[in-house]
Homo-oligomer: A and B are copies of this chain.
Amino acid sequence: MDRIIDITELALRDAHQSLIATRLGVDDMVPVCEDLDQAGYWSIECWGGATYDACIRFLNEDPWVRLRTFKELMPKTPLQMLLRGQNLLGYRHYQDEVVDRFVQKSAENGIDVFRIFDALNDLRNLERSVQAVKRCGKHAQVAISYTISPIHTTEKFVDQARRLVDMGCDSICIKDMAALIKPHAAYELVKGIKEACGDRIRIQLHAHATSGVTMVSYMKAVEAGVDGVDTAVSSMSLGPGHNPTESFAEMLENTGYTTRIDLARVHKVKEHFAKVLPRYSEFLSTVTGAETEIFRSQIPGGMLSNMESQLKQQGAGDRMHEVLKEIPLVRKDTGYVPLVTPTSQIVGTQAVLNVLMGRYKVLTGEFADLMLGYYGLPPGERNPEVVEQARRHAKKEPIDCRPADLLEPEWGKLRAAALPLEGCDGSDEDVLTYALFPQVAAKFFATRHEGPRNLGRDPVTGASETSVPEGHPGKIT
Q: A184's contact among B182, B254, B292, by CB below 8 Å, is which?
A: B254
CB-nearest residue of chain B relative to A254? B184
* Residue A295 at the chain B interface, CB threshold 8 Å: yes
Contact B247 A292 (CB under 8 A): yes
* Residue A238 at the chain B interface, CB threshold 8 Å: yes
Can you list 6 A-B pairs, Cβ within 8 angstroms, ordered by A? Answer: A185-B253, A212-B215, A212-B251, A234-B291, A238-B289, A244-B292
Mark out the residues of chain A between 232 and 254 whose CB falls within 8 Å of any chain B CB in the assembled complex: 234-238, 243-244, 246-247, 250-251, 253-254
* Residue A219 at the chain B interface, CB threshold 8 Å: yes
Contact B292 A250 (CB under 8 A): yes
Report Cα–Cα, A472/B162, bound state, in Å: 61
Chain B residues in 8 Å Cβ range of A254: 182, 184-185
Contact A182 B253 (CB under 8 A): yes
Report Cα–Cα, A119/B171, bound state, in Å: 50
* Residue A50 at the chain B interface, CB threshold 8 Å: no
Mark out the residues of chain A between 172 and 225 whose CB falls within 8 Å of any chain B CB in the assembled complex: 182-185, 211-213, 215-220
Question: Which 10 residue pairs are nearest across A and B when measured between Cβ atoms?
Answer: A212-B247, A213-B251, A244-B290, A246-B292, A184-B254, A234-B290, A212-B244, A216-B219, A247-B290, A184-B255
Chain B residues in 8 Å Cβ range of A185: 253-254
Chain B residues in 8 Å Cβ range of A290: 234, 237-238, 244, 246-247
Contact B253 A184 (CB under 8 A): yes
Mark out the residues of chain A between 288 and 327 whose CB falls within 8 Å of any chain B CB in the assembled complex: 288-293, 295
Chain B residues in 8 Å Cβ range of A217: 251
A291: shortest Cβ distance to chain B, in Å?
Answer: 7
A344: shortest Cβ distance to chain B, in Å?
Answer: 21
CB-nearest residue of chain B relative to A235? B289
Chain B residues in 8 Å Cβ range of A237: 212, 289-290
Contact B251 A216 (CB under 8 A): yes
A182-B250, A238-B289, A288-B288 are known; give 14 further A-B pairs, CB within 8 A. A183-B251, A185-B254, A211-B250, A212-B237, A212-B243, A212-B251, A217-B251, A234-B289, A234-B292, A237-B289, A244-B289, A244-B290, A246-B290, A267-B293
CB-nearest residue of chain B relative to A274? B289
Contact A234 B253 (CB under 8 A): no
Chain B residues in 8 Å Cβ range of A295: 250
Report Cα–Cα, A213/B244, bound state, in Å: 9
Contact B184 A212 (CB under 8 A): no
Contact A246 B184 (CB under 8 A): no
Chain B residues in 8 Å Cβ range of A211: 247, 250
Chain B residues in 8 Å Cβ range of A244: 212, 289-290, 292
Chain B residues in 8 Å Cβ range of A215: 212-213, 215-216
Report Cα–Cα, A267/B292, bound state, in Å: 9
Contact A183 B288 (CB under 8 A): no
A301: shortest Cβ distance to chain B, in Å?
Answer: 13
Chain B residues in 8 Å Cβ range of A251: 182-183, 212-213, 216-217
Chain B residues in 8 Å Cβ range of A183: 219, 251, 255
Report Cα–Cα, A246/B290, bound state, in Å: 8
Q: A234's contact among B212, B219, B220, B250, by CB below 8 Å, is which?
A: B212
Chain B residues in 8 Å Cβ range of A247: 211-213, 290, 292
CB-nearest residue of chain B relative to A180? B250
Name, among A250, A253, A289, the residue most crowded by chain B CB atoms within 10 Å (CB to CB). A289
A300: shortest Cβ distance to chain B, in Å?
Answer: 16
Chain B residues in 8 Å Cβ range of A235: 289
